[in-house]
Amino acid sequence: MKPEEIQKIAETEHDLRMSYKYRINVCCSSGCLPFGAQKLLKAFEDTIKELGLERVCKVARTGCVGTCSVAPVVLIDPGNHLYQNVKPEDAKKIVQEHIINGQVLEEYLYKNEAYFSKQYRLILRNAGKIDPLRIEDYIAVGGYSALAKALTQMTPEQIIYEISLSGLRGRGGAGFSTGQKWNFVAKSTAKPKYIVANLDEGDPGVFANRTLAEADPHAIIEGMTIAAYAVGAEKGFIYIRAEYPLAIQTLKKAIEQAKSYGLLGNNILGSTLNFDIELRLGAGAFVAGEETAILSSIEGLRATPRPRPPYPAVSGLWGKPTLINNVETLANVPLIILNGGTWFSKLGTPKCTGTKCFSLTGKVKNPGLIEVPMGITLKEIVYEIGGGVPDGKKFKAVLVGGPSGGCLPESMLSLPIDYESLTQAGAIMGSGGIVVIDDESCIVDTARFFIDFCMDESCGKCIPCRAGLPKVREILDRIMLGEGKVEDLKVLEELCYLIKDASLCGLGQTAPNPVLTTLNYFKQEYLAHIVEKSCPAKKCILKKVEVVKE
Amino acid sequence: MSERIVKLIIDGKEIFAKPTDTILKAAIDNGIQIPTLCYLEGLTPHGGCRLCVVEVKGNPKLMTSCTTPVSNNMEIITNSPKLIKYRKQIIELLLAERIHTCSVCIANGSCELQELASKFGVDHTNVSRNWERFELDMSHERFVLDHNRCILCTRCIRVCDEIEGVHTLDIKRRGKDSMIIVDLDEPWSASYSCTSCGKCSAVCPVGAIYVKGKPLSETKRKELPKFITERRRR
Amino acid sequence: MIVLAKVKVATVWLSGCSGCHMSFLDQDEKLIELSKRIELVYSPIADVKEFPENVDITFIEGAVANEEQFHLLKLIRERTKLLIALGDCAVTGNVVTLRNCFQDSVKEVLEKAYIETVTYNPQYPVQVPKLLEKAYSINEVVKVDFYIPGCPPSADLINYVITEFLEGRVPSIEEKFKYG
Ligand SMILES: Cc1cc2nc3c(=O)[nH]c(=O)nc-3n(C[C@H](O)[C@H](O)[C@H](O)COP(=O)(O)O)c2cc1C
Ligand code: SF4
Ligand code: SF4
Ligand code: SF4
Ligand code: SF4
Ligand code: FES
Ligand code: FES
């Protein structure tokens, strides 16, 4: 296939798309499927057929719209009308009123303006708008034109220059400059080179990468292929956890389609680029998402991290230079190529450009997957997008950065979201998990919950993390039982610093964050448990007297 | 290619090393001691025990000297109060992680962990000790595997894989539940791959793999690392 | 701790094998020197029934395995200025705490000791203090000021520690001690 042919398909598909007066997008992603999305899709298709509206209205299956809390949802274009909690029985009525009579059905409408108004959907621009299982849908909205541009009009150096100019930083958590990373790999002379797209997403309650793969798989493939051209790689792996069956299916199909269109394989778009992508399924361990652990896993070994240096860019898969990027990072790439690095660098903040997807969960009115410009404040996320704490409860804390994130209090809500500010406050960007905690939750219990998670997920390779986290948990357990001593807090803190500073990989290095931040911002709650033997949230049952300790 | 030489500073002392050297090797060659536990000369460095961490100027992270190569003008500190404190804590965690009752241990008197505890003055543990008991594997006619003493340094795994070349040993589970296994988690006597060479028992720094019926002081061989290195070179 | 009057020293024997006390006594002729500076106010080798008040230094041998020891230790802590855990049993729990590895260890221990291995009239004891569910090292029950590991610690080490304290210095035992 030639670039012109892609252009051709884009035009035909676009025209086809435009030929419909209406488009009913039925979300069939993981959040809506359990609520009968398949049946709903069928109901709409049947209704349209029954009423002979096939030429007027297109019914399409799409990826997540981002409002999974009101699943299943249907998005009708033009006008971006989002219907919530739609049942198959409602299909007739909606088609009758909306498609035939042109009347929007207010009672089904998702009315939460604020939820979307503060968002900036760049990565998720196609989510809910295209059929992820049709490559033509992606091409119709401009897909693969960035690849065509890169291959025909740009040199690898120019691509890396644009990526560097954009200020794009890794969305996998650490925020390393993507341009710099690409440059390292490009400069390595060893052959072959590999690319790994990280879709392990092992954090509990985080689902941004899965959603992306389910909604817009070709964006990932296109980003990877451009990266391959830029760094000189021949082979790519998408490392995805086996617990994501729909995302796996979707990606598999997408790779097949890309291959059949000559967008993967040899001489891509008539250029000299040969590049292939293979899926690798992980067995679902949090630590398997760590970049060096992925390498081991793909090589067929235990997924345990390796010390760096050597960095994967120099010695990665089978000792060869390997580029590892998060899938969200990669999905940014086509946009940067199309619109230029300068355009991208103006989004977000100067040091932290672009947007970021967050999985907003916990005690908020509107949980869901959101995408916001960098630099937005936590307050805007929790109160405006999230709608605040439901059921008249009070806000207590927000955990930013997944299980090894930091627990921040109300006073920190004006914090802008960027790598540096978060790190300074004791939290991390992580994979973009935000959990809102209300005043019914005990802070010690919350910290213990996350320590428990990291303890279970520790690979056991290094001692601070493997042997330290169980001790941290033991002390928290004691405090929650009312057996804690004031001295315990010091031991706890010292242990946390050891684990943070001396552990091998990011898991251990960040695991103490929930404890350290709560010790910093909520010390009085710990002391209440220890000194007054009471739990402010009335969650922990504290033993007043312990038999052995008199 | 003529050998390039890099200059670096360790604890204020200017030293020279080959660019392929690790910080640890450069230090040892220049008479500077850095404590180690999982490292054994001749085996692929593991980087797991974290005892050998050092501070490298300009790097906010602590680096394991057994895995980090030297580079020109590196400035390294091996013994800051912070590092010493962390080492003490690591030893303390190890003593508390499994059941270490030296008085009745086969390794008593020739154990690297015991020695380190003394060297760093870890004369008690602040964290509570664990009392989970593991069954011993006594099935092999010559060797015993006692998980209760194992510190998961993987020396045995590496020597069995890299030197003996059979990879009989590995780890199962993860985190605190990690355990050394023989073949696919079988009794040692049922192992097809084990050649009964005894290298694993010879490299175990503690009393976790040992020759049946003999105190470690009798079976421990000081010349072993040299032997391993020779073997490595072929 | 420079005192003109003799320093009041106590030694206590909890659940241990008495080896640490033997080692203490192994200071031999140095004991004579010591006796000029200390007064032994409570010890298994001195016939004192109740633990006295205002003790300057107490050495504790053994782990805490029964209720009587538990309460005694609390009392000792209240009445002692400087509490020293002497030997592995006191410091780590040593073999005494090995029973913690077993479920329902009290029953198992009693059964082993008083039934299974007894040939003449096996029966559970009635007049010994009740065993605690778990055995503890000293620092799990009270605050400990100094630790001397060893099974037993050498007489020289004990002598060094006590002499240093008598001189008003905090001993440094790095590289001088050895567990086991
Ligand atoms: C315990 C742990 C888990 C991780 N999990 C993921 C993950 O699921 N997805 C991801 O993209 N990065 C994950 N990372 C970060 C990766 O190590 C790596 O930094 C990232 O994939 C690099 O891509 P980027 O530069 O595009 O961010 C994890 C790191 C650690 C320490
Ligand atoms: S920090 Fe934890 S997860 Fe990472 S290598 Fe060490 S033990 Fe494994
Ligand atoms: S292995 Fe070493 S530290 Fe552990 S009990 Fe034996 S001698 Fe002591
Ligand atoms: S005896 Fe030799 S072959 Fe057998 S497990 Fe040990 S090192 Fe491997
Ligand atoms: S058995 Fe010995 S050598 Fe093997 S991991 Fe355990 S402590 Fe290390
Ligand atoms: S899965 Fe349907 S809205 Fe998220
Ligand atoms: S010796 Fe370097 S990490 Fe163990």
The tokens of A116 are what?
């979307």
Residue B129 has pLDDT above 80, yes or no: yes
First to last CA, chain C: 31
Contact yes or no for A550 and C134 at CB 8 A: no
**Contact in structure between A274 and A234 (CB atoms under 8 Å):** yes
d(CA C54, CA C47): 18
For residue A475, being part of any structural domain is answered with yes
Q: Using a 6 Å cutoff on CB, does residue B22 contact ligand 5?
A: no
Q: Does C108 touch chain B (CB under 8 A)?
A: no
d(CA A29, CA C37): 83
CA angle C32, C33, C36 (to 5 degrees): 90
Cβ-based contacts of B45 with chain A (< 8 Å): 307
Task: State in Å: Cα B168 to ligand 4 middle.
Answer: 6
Could you identify the atom of ligand 3 that is nearest to the CA of residue B101?
Answer: 5
Q: What is the pLDDT of residue B231?
A: 73
Nearest CA owner, ligand 1 atom 14: A290
Contact yes or no for A550 and C132 at CB 8 A: no
For residue A6, being part of any structural domain is answered with no
Nearest CA owner, ligand 2 atom 4: A505
- Among residues A388, A406, A438, the one where a domain terminates is A438
Nearest CA in chain C to A549: C141
For chain C, strand residue ranges (E) read 7-13, 38-42, 55-61, 64-66, 80-86, 131-136, 146-148
- Neighbouring C-alpha atoms within 13 Å toward the C-beta of C14: 35
**Contact in structure between A406 and A425 (CB atoms under 8 Å):** yes
Block residue for tokens 């069954």: B135
Residue B87 CB neighbours (<10 A): 25
Nearest CA owner, ligand 3 atom 8: B102
For residue C119, being part of any structural domain is answered with no
Residue C116: phi and psi, rounded to 5, are -60, -45
Nearest CA owner, ligand 2 atom 1: A508
Buried b (16+ CB within 10 A) or exposed e, A355-374: bbbbbbbbbbbbbbbbbbbb
Length of chain C: 180
Residue C96 has pLDDT above 70, yes or no: yes
What CATH number corresponds to the domain at position A495? 1.20.1440.230
Block residue for tokens 């660019």: B19
Report the run of H or E that residue A344 belongs to, with start and end. Answer: helix A341-345
Buried b (16+ CB within 10 A) or exposed e, A189-208: eeeebbbbbbbbbbbbebbb
Q: What is the pLDDT of residue A548?
A: 45
- Neighbouring C-alpha atoms within 13 Å toward the C-beta of A96: 5
Distance to chain C for B202, nearest Cα, Å = 21
Distance to chain C for B2, nearest Cα, Å = 44
Q: What is the pLDDT of residue A1?
A: 80
pLDDT in tens, A252-268: 999 999 999 999 999 99
In sequence order, what are the residues at sequence separation of 6 or more whose Cβ sits closer than 8 angstroms to the Cβ of residue A532? none
Among partner residues B50, B173, B176, which is closest to A455 by beta-carbon distance? B176
Q: Nearest Cα to B121, choosing from B94, B77, B91, B80?
A: B91
Domains of chain B with bracketed CATH? 6-79 (3.10.20.740), 117-231 (3.30.70.20)
Task: State in Å: Cα A148 to ligand 1 middle.
Answer: 29
Could you tell me the CA-to-CA distances from A9 to A1, A13, A151, A252, A294 in Å, in that order? 11, 6, 18, 22, 37
Q: What is the pLDDT of residue B82?
A: 98
Cβ-based contacts of C70 with chain A (< 8 Å): 548
Around ligand 1, the residues with Cβ closer than 6 Å are A 170-174, 176, 198, 200-202, 286-287, 289-291, 324-326, 329, 431, 505-507
Which ligand is closest to the CA of A366, given by its number? Answer: 6
Distance to chain B for C151, nearest Cα, Å = 6
Per cent of chain B over pLDDT 70 is 97
Question: Concatenated DSSP letters for A73-102?
Answer: -EEEETTTEEE-S--TTHHHHHIIIIIIS-
**Contact in structure between A500 and A512 (CB atoms under 8 Å):** yes
In sequence order, what are the residues at sequence separation of 6 or more whose Cβ sits closer than 8 angstroms to the Cβ of residue A244? A199, A201, A210, A213
Distance to chain C for B122, nearest Cα, Å = 8
Which ligand is closest to the CA of A198, given by its number? Answer: 1
- Among residues A312, A345, A378, the one where a domain terminates is A345
For residue C112, being part of any structural domain is answered with no
> What is the Cα A451 distance to its own chain's centre?
22
* Residues within 8 A of B (CB atoms), C 109-148 only: 134, 137, 139-140, 144, 147-148
Nearest CA owner, ligand 2 atom 8: A459
For residue A419, being part of any structural domain is answered with yes
**Contact in structure between A270 and A485 (CB atoms under 8 Å):** no
**Contact in structure between A238 and A280 (CB atoms under 8 Å):** yes
d(CA A366, CA A387): 6
Nearest CA in chain B to A475: B127
Residue B9 CB neighbours (<10 A): 14
Could you tell me the CA-to-CA distances from A548 to A92, A153, A545, C79, C134 in Å, in that order? 69, 77, 9, 21, 9
d(CA B126, CA A299): 40
Please indicate, yes or no, whether residues A315 and A420 belong to a single structural domain of this protein: no
Please indicate, yes or no, whether residues A220 and A292 belong to a single structural domain of this protein: yes
For residue C38, being part of any structural domain is answered with yes
Please indicate, yes or no, whether residues A382 and A474 belong to a single structural domain of this protein: no
Distance to chain A for B67, nearest Cα, Å = 7
Distance to chain B for C136, nearest Cα, Å = 10
Taking each helix axis as running N to C, give the angle between helix A327-339 and helix A217-231, from 0 to 180 degrees, rounded to the nearest 10: 70
Please indicate, yes or no, whether residues A303 and A368 belong to a single structural domain of this protein: no
Per cent of chain B over pLDDT 90 is 89
Q: Does C85 touch chain B (CB under 8 A)?
A: yes
For residue C87, being part of any structural domain is answered with yes
Q: What is the pLDDT of residue A547?
A: 43
Contact yes or no for A302 and B171 at CB 8 A: yes
The tokens of B107 are what?
């390794």
Helices (H), B64-205: 81-97, 112-119, 155-158, 199-203
**Contact in structure between A458 and A465 (CB atoms under 8 Å):** yes
Nearest CA owner, ligand 5 atom 6: B150
Please indicate, yes or no, whether residues A187 and A77 belong to a single structural domain of this protein: no
| Total structural domains within chain C | 1
Q: What is the pLDDT of residue A380?
A: 97
Around ligand 3, the residues with Cβ closer than 6 Å are B 100-102, 105, 107-108, 111, 113-114, 149, 206-207; C 179-180
What CATH number corresponds to the domain at position A283? 3.40.50.11540
Residue B81 CB neighbours (<10 A): 7
**Contact in structure between A482 and A529 (CB atoms under 8 Å):** yes
In sequence order, what are the residues at sequence separation of 6 or more whose Cβ sits closer than 8 angstroms to the Cβ of residue C35? none
pLDDT in tens, B71-109: 999 999 999 999 999 999 999 999 999 999 999 999 999
**Contact in structure between C132 and C161 (CB atoms under 8 Å):** no
Please indicate, yes or no, whether residues A471 and A434 belong to a single structural domain of this protein: no
Residue C150: phi and psi, rounded to 5, are 135, 150
Please indicate, yes or no, whether residues A457 and A414 belong to a single structural domain of this protein: no
Interface of C with A (CB under 8 A): 70, 74, 132-134
What CATH number corresponds to the domain at position C85? 3.40.50.700
Contact yes or no for B132 and C101 at CB 8 A: yes
Q: Show the domain range for A371.
A: 355-438
**Contact in structure between A86 and A73 (CB atoms under 8 Å):** yes
Q: Confidence band (pLDDT; 50, 70, 90) for C119? A: very high
Contact yes or no for B50 and A464 at CB 8 A: yes
In sequence order, what are the residues at sequence separation of 6 or more whose Cβ sits closer than 8 angstroms to the Cβ of residue A487? none
Judged by DSSP in three states, B179 sits in strand
3-state secondary structure B5-65: CEEEEECCEEEEECCCCEHHHHHHHCCCCCCCCCCCCCCCCCCCCCCCEEEECCCCCEEEC
What CATH number corresponds to the domain at position A377? 3.10.20.600
Helices then strands, counting H and E runs in chain A, come out as 22, 13
Q: What is the pLDDT of residue A541?
A: 81
Q: What is the pLDDT of residue C4?
A: 63
Q: Does C87 touch chain B (CB under 8 A)?
A: no
User: Could you say which DSSP state residue C52 is in?
Assistant: P
Nearest CA in chain A to B172: A302
**Contact in structure between B123 and C91 (CB atoms under 8 Å):** yes
d(CA B208, CA B230): 25
Q: Show the domain range for C92.
A: 7-99+132-171
Q: What is the pLDDT of residue C1?
A: 54
**Contact in structure between A75 and A62 (CB atoms under 8 Å):** yes
| Total structural domains within chain A | 4
Q: Does B34 touch chain C (CB under 8 A)?
A: no
Q: Which chains touch B (3 or more CB pairs under 8 A)?
A: A, C
Contact yes or no for B124 and C91 at CB 8 A: yes
Nearest CA in chain B to C85: B124
Nearest CA in chain A to C134: A548
Distance to chain B for A218, nearest Cα, Å = 35
Establish, for the pair of chains A and B, how many residue pairs have beta carbons separated by less than 8 Å. 95
Residue B224 has pLDDT above 90, yes or no: no
The tokens of A388 are what?
């605040």
Around ligand 6, the residues with Cβ closer than 6 Å are A 27, 29-32, 64-68, 71, 73
Query: Which of A474, A547, A548 should be substituted to probe chain C, the one whose Cβ sees the most C Cβ atoms within 10 Å?
Result: A548
Taking each helix axis as running N to C, give the angle between helix A217-231 and helix A208-215, from 0 to 180 degrees, rounded to the nearest 10: 100
For chain A, which ranges sit under pLDDT 50? 545-550
Please indicate, yes or no, whether residues A451 and A420 belong to a single structural domain of this protein: no
CA angle A297, A301, A302 (to 5 degrees): 80
Could you identify the atom of ligand 2 that is nearest to the CA of residue A499?
Answer: 1
Average pLDDT, chain B: 94
- Give one word for A415, left, alpha or beta, with left for phi > 0 and alpha for psi -120 to 50: beta
Task: State in Å: Cα B101 to ligand 3 middle.
Answer: 6
What CATH number corresponds to the domain at position A79? 3.40.30.10
CA angle A434, A439, A206 (to 5 degrees): 15
d(CA A414, CA A403): 22
Cβ-based contacts of C74 with chain A (< 8 Å): 550
Task: State in Å: Cα B155 to ligand 7 middle.
Answer: 11
Q: Does B114 touch chain C (CB under 8 A)?
A: yes
Give the neighbor-by-neighbor strand order of the sheet with A276-282. Answer: A276-282, A235-241, A194-199, A322-326
Q: Nearest Cα to A456, choosing from A465, A464, A447?
A: A465
CA angle B57, B61, B63 (to 5 degrees): 80
pTM of the predicted structure, to 2 decimals: 0.95
Please indicate, yes or no, whether residues A431 and A451 belong to a single structural domain of this protein: no
Among partner residues B127, B174, B176, which is closest to A491 by beta-carbon distance? B127
Could you identify the atom of ligand 1 that is nearest to the CA of residue A507?
Answer: 1
Q: Nearest Cα to C157, choosing from C107, C55, C96, C88?
A: C88
Please indicate, yes or no, whether residues A273 and A334 belong to a single structural domain of this protein: yes
Top mutation candidate among A451, A454, A462 for ligand 2, by most atoms within 8 Å of CB: A462
Q: What is the largest CA-CA distance in chain B?
A: 56
Burial (CB count <10 Å: 0-12, 13-18, 19+), residue A499: buried
CA angle A403, A407, A412 (to 5 degrees): 145
